[in-house]
Amino acid sequence: MAFQPVKFYQTGTFTVGNRLLDEQQRSVQAQEERSNSLNSGHRACQGCGEALGARYAIDAAMHATGNQLIAANATGCLEVFSTPYPESSWQIPWIHSLFGNAAAVASGIAAALRVKGRGEVRVIAQGGDGGTTDIGFGCLSGMFERNDDVLYICYDNEAYMNTGVQRSSATPPAARTATTMAVGAQPGNVFGQGKNVPAIAMAHDIPYVATATVAELHDLEYKVKKAMGFHGARYIHVFVPCPLGWGAASQDTIKLARLAKETGLFPVFEAEHGEVTSVSKIRRPIPVEEYLRPQKRFAHLFGQEPAAEVIARLQTIADRNIKKFGLLDAAA
Amino acid sequence: MLKQIEGSHGVAEAVALARPEVICAYPISPQTHIVEALGEMVKTGALSPCEFINVESEFAAMSVAIGASAAGARTYTATASQGLLFMVEAVYNAAGLGLPIVMTVANRAIGAPINIWNDHTDAMSQRDCGWIQLFAETNQEALDLHIQAFRLAEELSLPVMVCMDGFILTHAYERMDVPEQALVDAYLPPYEPRQVLDPREPVSIGAMVGPEAFTEVRYLAHAKQMSAIERIPQLAQEFRAVFGRDSGGLVRGYRLEDAETVVVALGSVLGTIKDTVDELRDRGVKIGVLGITSFRPFPLAAVRAALAGAKRFVVLEKSLAVGIGGIVATNVRLALDGLALKGYTIVAGLGGRAITRASLHRVFGEAIADRLEAVHFLDLQRERVARVLEREEAVRRSGPIAEGILKDLGTVASRIG
Amino acid sequence: MDKPFAITLDPNSSLANRTGSWRTKRPVYLDRLPPCNHACPAGENIQGWLYHAESGEYEAAWRVLTRDNPLPAVMGRVCYHPCEGACNRGKLDQAVGINAVERFLGDEAIRRGWLFERPSQASGKRVLVVGAGPSGLSAAYHLARRGHEVSIFEAGPFAGGMMRFGIPKYRLPRDVLDAEVQRILDLGVELRLNCKVSNILETMGEGGFDAAFLAVGAHIAKRAFIPAGDSARILDAVAVLRSMEGEDQPMLGRRVVVYGGGNTAIDVARTAKRLGATEAIIVYRRTRDKMPAHDFEVEEALQEGVMVKWLSTIKQASNGGTLTIEKMALDQHGQPVPTGEFETLEADSLVLALGQDVDLSLLDGVPGLVIEKGVVKVNAQMMTGYAGIFAGGDMVPSERTVTVAVGHGKKAANNIDAWLRGETYEAPPKHELATYEQLNPWYYADAPKMVRPMLDLIRRQSSFDEVQGGLDESTALFEARRCLSCGNCFECDNCYGVCPDNAVIKLGPGRRFRFNLDYCKGCGICVAECPCGAISMIAETT
Ligand SMILES: Cc1cc2nc3c(=O)[nH]c(=O)nc-3n(C[C@H](O)[C@H](O)[C@H](O)COP(=O)(O)OP(=O)(O)OC[C@H]3O[C@@H](n4cnc5c(N)ncnc54)[C@H](O)[C@@H]3O)c2cc1C
Ligand SMILES: Cc1ncc(C[n+]2csc(CCOP(=O)(O)OP(=O)(O)O)c2C)c(N)n1
Ligand code: SF4
Ligand SMILES: [Mg+2]
């Protein structure tokens, strides 16, 4: 069954907690005794969406498994900012091996746990978009195809951030990165490329695939919890703005995630065994421009003469998502 | 129990006797028969409990092994050649993380040009990766070394590569003594991981280490591997005590007494060399053989001790460090620092080229007469390469050397016997 | 476990890395002044009591409410709720129905018999309150709660002032008014009815009062000069409405014309309708949008069949009951100017609703008073020019509403209390206003305003039953929960949740949060994502 938002208690399900709700209806993040799996002292940039997304997701998984969790982490910002010698921010058993093998390492952990009869301990693999959609894609697909008992979480900040913001196959069209500079006839990233990994994950017919953003905590936690209810390969793709890489204000991280979803640029949905089972509807429809404008990586679209045509193409992408996933209620 | 079986099967049985808990398999000749056999044992339940995982690449194979090992499972995989290179990043990583994975490398050449036959280039490419590398001379030794390898790996918390010559050993049917499970159990205690991923005691494995501690980390890796120099002979001794056989150790000498010339080699070619040496000894030539079992760590002292009394050494190796010559030879030279021995490198058996006693007689003779060039390519077809070199000299053109040779020879001629 | 050097780390060891040193700005929690509170003439802590109402803690809500205003059931009916006009939710969808919730709480208190806490100590001071209107009642209440002995001298036969003698029953049922007055009296306040004070200094002296609060209201009807025949039946609105409280209902006839454009005119016209008038016509010299009466009241009157002649003045009332009406036009400044066009209107009675003046006779001979435009001037402490005599409500210069009167009563009580102790009252400093721009409205659930039920039209035209109903428990609760809690933490846990550095410490229910500045990097997400604007960023100085 799809996520049921709490109808109305001043803020409904929109805020992290809500003093008017039962404890069980509040988010994991609202709990005083949440696990803080990724704890203070990490070296993520101010306002890092990935740091936030990782804590949201892993805490939720910890909650769902009664703290019986092991995580394998791909190289990337999350790994670098959380475990520079001599300090680790993790409170869970955690391993970093390589950039491209998190899914396989996790498969190995799951195999070890199975053979040792410790099925109660669950395994998560996690990485950035680069580590997931590009270099780790083979291992990811292998893990999916074998239906290994692993939940893979991709923290998508739409570029290789740790190496200084280079294009990945998750970088959106028109975005400026260090390898798709805003110069030439078609400034920024090209149109028509990129890889839709949630769709590819679904094509593997794995039990559970979902997308989520750091702006909708209850939805994210619901999906992690739901994913932990399945055995076999599962995939959650979390949209996590990167203030540094996107040239956005550090306080706008959640706002941008919200706008990405509300514009339709990032469709939020879940799928079981290859079929979409629910979508997160747009609540306040807005044009893509509102999402693009606060980000320097799109600044070239808003120069003296706004690149109306490019913005329109991006709007088309959003509109197509809206249509494809039915993101708008008839009423809205 | 004595069995007439294929080398690969013998090794598979040895691995099974070691009770591995996770096996990752990705096919590449000539490793296939080993993992196939293991897969079957897991499927029949003969090997249990064990997870046999058909991964999607060697990179994944080693990565799955890393995860399994870090989570406390005794872990095994096997590969060769291109496969070993495809997993390199993870190979280094397993060593860096100190995970006691055991891997068979069914030694095979590396392309281009692609070639499935035996030489040592694959293993040699990984000599600095931090794994212990043991080379088997016979199928029996390959079997025995796997049992020792798990013990060594787990005691030191380091991965161990057992190298056996592709086809020559892996596909050869021989009589092998497959030990009883009870004996193996007596020799190899259950795996007690040094560090383990476990919610009961969380740790963060695989930190990023900067200049402030990286040298120390590497030093410690070196020191740990060097400590195996002491441990490897002890384990071989213990092995003999339990199984009644000599297997393993650092080096093994053959007819070294009063030898003026010592041939140094690794792997199955030692058999042919020993036969040749026997014939030379019969003719009164003072020649002996030093087989190196442990290539990493490299037993500098043992090699030095074995060669100190000789006049010259001849390293016959199935690998080539392009641009300098021998790999094993370079290591041997280091062991002999300050000693006045003449040294010859014979690069032999590349890509499966047969090493015949006749050829060995010829080169050893030249070496003894000190007429051998410093780096000699055994049975090199000189006219062929001369033609290419000549043309190269005349027309500097780009493109792979191999292609040039094939053009000259025609594709049929390229099937070298 | 034997951990390899440097490669394997202890969990949670990053706590040694105090990332707070990165910060150039720091977040601080603050309380901003909600616009509703700001707009409330009675100084109610509206958001404060809504907070409790949201949790279903109605008594706690009522107690917070009555800290400032002792008449919630009355307020929930007659207050013009400027709070709702200022409510930030009005910019989102519709303002919170504060007035409706207030009424619910007031009615709930009456139903459940909640009483005020009596003061624990008596001050030994005696204060005279003149007039039992809202201002006088409010002052008496606040003074009594501070332990002073209070006597109210009221000229009329009932307490309530204009709430009784002006506002019709169909808007404010008398049992509601009585209950709330009684609750004040239960605090030990003495009420002397039919006790008109004619000389304030004398009365104070006789009664041994240490201070007095005057709240005599404005009861003298203003008259316009209308040439009229002797038998023309001309009445004034206040008198008509006042007589509704007596035994005999006023005789207005079948065709009633009301002259004026304020709420009083509307009340009289609607009363006339209920008394059986077939026609109740308001004559007003300007247009609807210029009318001082509140639009909703005009609307309700029109629904009930009251008619309005816009842009009209009454020139003459003849004996036969014929009124001469002159049509007006608006000039470019919006002022009505005569057109010289006339028409006539038949009327059994003409009721003048042109405003009221204050009867200041009780102040004759008091030295130091300043009277301007017929009202008594007071200083910032609500004190008249004569030390110890304070005044408020309709008799001082200000807007004339029940709520303003209640606010004056409270303010005066604070000052009288201080004055009695030889001190000057210092109002606590006001927080900065919480603006809509400081909110993050995304977080509030979509919630349409709950509407209060209205009596059916037939009964509205024929009876004095209350026109507007109240919310029930569920709708009142819903409405309370529409509050955005502007500028004040309502413990939604957002800051605690959205901090990427876990630098917010949750202190537990009712205790809000604290920043852990050891780790706060100053990203500002908590500020941006605080729904209610209760956090702000300030520059780090060191
Ligand atoms: C018809 C009408 C409808 C109204 N409707 C609303 C409404 O819906 N909402 C709203 O907010 N406001 C309304 N008002 C205005 C509101 O009623 C007044 O502003 C408010 O009542 C003023 O309160 P007060 O205490 O100053 O005076 P009052 O309410 O006028 O009370 C003064 C009291 O003092 C008594 N008194 C006078 N002189 C003496 C004396 N010498 N000795 C002893 N006692 C004396 C009087 O008898 C009276 O009881 C309305 C007014 C009218 C006339
Ligand atoms: C095999 C390999 N190639 C390249 C790198 C360099 N590298 C490290 S992190 C990184 C970028 C990571 O990007 P992403 O996965 O999107 O994570 P992010 O840092 O954006 O969170 C790259 C390219 C590497 N460590 N290993
Ligand atoms: S570069 Fe981006 S993803 Fe990396 S730590 Fe900074 S904000 Fe987070
Ligand atoms: Mg990225």
Is the pLDDT at C156 greater than 90? The verdict is: yes
Q: Give the pLDDT mean for C469-474.
A: 95
Same domain for B373 and B393, yes or no, is no
For the cut 50, the answer to whether the pLDDT of residue C235 exceeds it is yes
- Are β-strands B102-107 and B51-54 bridged in parallel, bridged antiparallel, or unpaired? unpaired
Instruction: Please tell me the distance between residue C215's alpha carbon and the centre of ligand 1 in angstroms.
Output: 8
Using alpha carbons, select from A188, A190, A193, A165 the residue that is nearest to residue A175.
Answer: A188
Measured in angstroms, the CA of B90 and the nearest CA of chain A are apart by 7
Cβ contact (<8 Å) for B205 and C10?
A: no
Percent of chain A with pLDDT over 70: 99
Provide φ and ψ at B373, rounded to 5°.
Answer: -70, 160
Distance from residue A163's CA to the centre of ligand 2 (Å) = 6
- Model pLDDT, residue B416: 43
Architecture in CATH for domain C35-114+458-480: Orthogonal Bundle (1.10)
Indicate the CATH number for domain C14-31+489-539. 3.30.70.20
User: What are the chain B neighbours of C11 within 8 Å (beta carbons)?
Assistant: 202-204
Q: Which of A181, A186, A207 is nearest to A270 (CA)?
A: A207
Q: Which two tokens stand for residue C422?
A: 């030889």
What residues of chain B lie within 8 A of the CB of C1, using their CB?
194-196, 201, 203
| pLDDT on residue B407 | 64
Segments making up each domain of chain A, as ranges: 1-27, 35-325
pLDDT at B409: 62
Residue A139 C-alpha, separation from nearest chain B C-alpha, in angstroms = 6
pLDDT at residue A332 greater than cutoff 50: no
- The CA distance from A274 to the nearest CA of chain C, in Å, is 32
Identify the residue whose C-alpha is closest to ligand 3 atom 8: A48
Which string of DSSP letters, residue by residue, matches B145-177? HHHHHHHHHHHHT--EEEEEETTTTTT-EEEEE
User: In chain C, what are the helix, strand and coil shares in percent, each to the nearest 5?
Assistant: 35, 20, 50
What pLDDT does C255 receive?
95
DSSP SS3 for A131: helix
Quick one: pLDDT at residue B417?
Answer: 41
Residue nearest to atom 25 of ligand 2 (CA): A99
Q: How many beta-carbon pairs below 8 A join chains A and B?
A: 167
Contact: A8, C478; criterion CB under 8 Å: yes
Of B59, B199, B208, the CB nearest to A70: B199
pLDDT, one tens digit for every residue, chain B (417 residues): 999 999 999 999 999 999 999 999 999 999 999 999 999 999 999 999 999 999 999 999 999 999 999 999 999 999 999 999 999 999 999 999 999 999 999 999 999 999 999 999 999 999 999 999 999 999 999 999 999 999 999 999 999 999 999 999 999 999 999 999 999 999 999 999 999 999 999 999 999 999 999 999 999 999 999 999 999 999 999 999 999 999 999 999 999 999 999 999 999 999 999 999 999 999 999 999 999 999 999 999 999 999 999 999 999 999 999 999 999 999 999 999 999 999 999 999 999 999 999 999 999 999 999 999 999 999 999 999 999 999 988 887 566 666 666 666 665 444 444
Q: Are residues B82 and B213 in the same domain?
A: yes
pLDDT (0 to 100) of residue B404: 62
Query: B196 — contact with chain C (CB < 8 Å)?
Result: yes
Residue A22 CB burial class (10 angstroms; 0-12, 13-18, ≥19): exposed
Over residues C341-352, mean pLDDT = 94
* Token pair listed for B204: 């963060």
Asked if the bond preceding B400 is cis, omega within 30° of 0, the reply is: no
Which two tokens mark A182?
């805003």
Packing angle of the helix pair B401-409, B382-394 (nearest 10 deg):
110
Cβ–Cβ under 8 Å, residues C424 and C184? no
Lowest mean pLDDT among A20-29, B121-130, C28-37, C229-238: C229-238
**Is the reported ipTM for this assembly greater than 0.85?**
yes
The residue count of chain A comes to 332
The band of C471, judged by pLDDT with boundaries at 50, 70 and 90, is very high
Same-domain pairing of B310 and B336: yes
Q: Do residues A170 and A128 touch, judged by C-beta distance below 8 A?
A: no
Q: A219: closest CA among A267, A287, A187?
A: A267
C205-234 pLDDT, tens digit each: 999 999 999 999 999 999 888 887 776 789
Does C75 score more than 80 pLDDT? yes
pLDDT at A314: 98
Question: What CATH homologous superfamily does C222-354 map to?
Answer: FAD/NAD(P)-binding domain (3.50.50.60)
Whole-angstrom Cα distance, residue B76 to residue B51? Answer: 10
* C-alpha of A143 from chain center: 19
- Where on the phi/psi map is residue B343: left (φ > 0), alpha (ψ -120 to 50), or beta? beta
CATH number for the domain running over C126-219+358-420: 3.50.50.60
CB contact under 8 A, A253 and C496: no
Residue B412 is predicted with a pLDDT of 46
Residue A277 CA to ligand 2 centre (angstroms): 33
Instruction: Say if residue B98 is in the same domain as residue B56.
Output: yes
- Please give the mean pLDDT across all residues of chain C: 95
CA C174/CA C157 separation, integer angstroms: 14
Domain boundary among B243, B268, B285: B243
CATH of domain A35-325: 3.40.50.970
Spell out which residues line ligand 2, taking CB within 6 angstroms: A 50, 75-78, 99-100, 127-131, 135, 157, 160-163, 168
Comparing alpha-carbon positions, the chain A residue that sits nearest to B99 is A97
Q: Are C319 and C357 in contact (CB under 8 A)?
A: no
> Is residue A139 less than 8 Å (CB to CB) from chain B?
yes
Q: Residue C106: how many CB atoms within 10 A of its CB?
A: 27
How many angstroms separate the first and last alpha carbons of chain B?
37
Question: Over pLDDT 70: what percentage of chain C?
Answer: 100
Q: Is the CB of A244 under 6 A from ligand 3?
A: yes
Q: Please tell me the distance between residue A75's alpha carbon and the centre of ligand 2 in angstroms.
A: 6
Domain range holding B329? 251-377
Please state whether beta strands B102-107 and B75-79 pair in parallel, antiparallel, or not at all (unpaired). parallel
For residue A35, count other CB atoms closer than 10 A to its CB: 19
- Give the SS3 label for residue A324: helix
Please write the tens of the pLDDT for every residue from A71-114. 999 999 999 999 999 999 999 999 999 999 999 999 999 999 99
Q: What is the CATH number of the domain that holds B259?
A: 3.40.50.920
Q: Which of B60, B65, B207 sits opposite A138 (nearest CB)?
A: B60
Q: Which of B21, B48, B62, B64 to mutate to test the interface with A (most CBs of A within 10 A)?
A: B64
C-alpha A296/C-alpha C49 separation (Å) is 45
- Looking at residue C319, its pLDDT comes to 80
Inter-chain CB proximity C6 and B98 less than 8 Å: no
Average pLDDT value for chain A: 96
Q: In C189-248, which residue ranges form alpha helices assigned H by DSSP?
A: 200-207, 237-243
Question: Residues 16 to 55 of C: which have CB under 8 A from any A CB?
Answer: 16-19, 22, 54-55
Same domain, B231 and B134: yes
Q: Is A77 in the pocket of ligand 3 (CB under 6 A)?
A: yes
DSSP 8-state symbol, B130? S
Is the fold of C35-114+458-480 the same as that of C126-219+358-420?
Answer: no
Hey, what's the torsion of the CAs at B177, B182, B188, B189, to 10 degrees? Answer: 170
For residues B305 and B348, state if they share a domain.
Answer: yes
Give chain B's domain count. Answer: 3
Residue B98's closest chain A neighbor by CA?
A: A97
Q: What is the pLDDT of residue A4?
A: 79
For residue B414, what pLDDT is reported?
A: 46
> Is A288 within 8 Å of A311 (Cβ atoms)?
yes
What is the distance in angstroms between the Cα of A113 and the nearest Cα belonging to chain C? 18
Structure confidence by residue, pLDDT tens digits, B207-225: 999 999 999 999 999 999 9
Q: What is the pTM of this model?
A: 0.94
CA distance A272 to chain C (A): 29
- Residues in C lying within 8 Å of B, measured between beta carbons: 1-11
Q: Is the pLDDT of residue A192 over 60?
A: yes
Any idea where the domains of chain C sit in the sequence?
14-31+489-539, 35-114+458-480, 126-219+358-420, 222-354
3-state secondary structure B310-345: CCEEEEEECCCECCCECCHHHHHHHHCCCCCCEEEE
| Nearest by Cα to B253 from B296, B311, B298, B293 | B293
Radius of gyration of chain A measured on its C-alpha atoms = 19
Q: Is the Cβ–Cβ distance between C13 and A88 less than 8 Å?
A: yes
A40 pLDDT more than 60 = yes
CA distances from B337 to A218, A295, B321, C104 (A): 69, 63, 20, 100
Ligand 2, atom 2, lies closest to the CA of: A99
Strand partners, C371: C376
What's the token pair of residue C217? 């209201």
Bridge partners (DSSP) of residue B104 are: B78, B162
Q: Does B287 lie in the same domain as B353?
A: yes
- Give the sign of the dihedral formed by CA A60, CA A61, CA A66, CA A70: negative
- Rounded Cα distance between C377 and C385, Å, is 8
How far away, in angstroms, is C435 Cα from ligand 1 center?
Answer: 34
| B237 and B271 fall within a common domain | no
Whether C16 and A87 lie within 8 Å, measured CB to CB: yes
Residue B416: Cβ within 10 Å count: 14
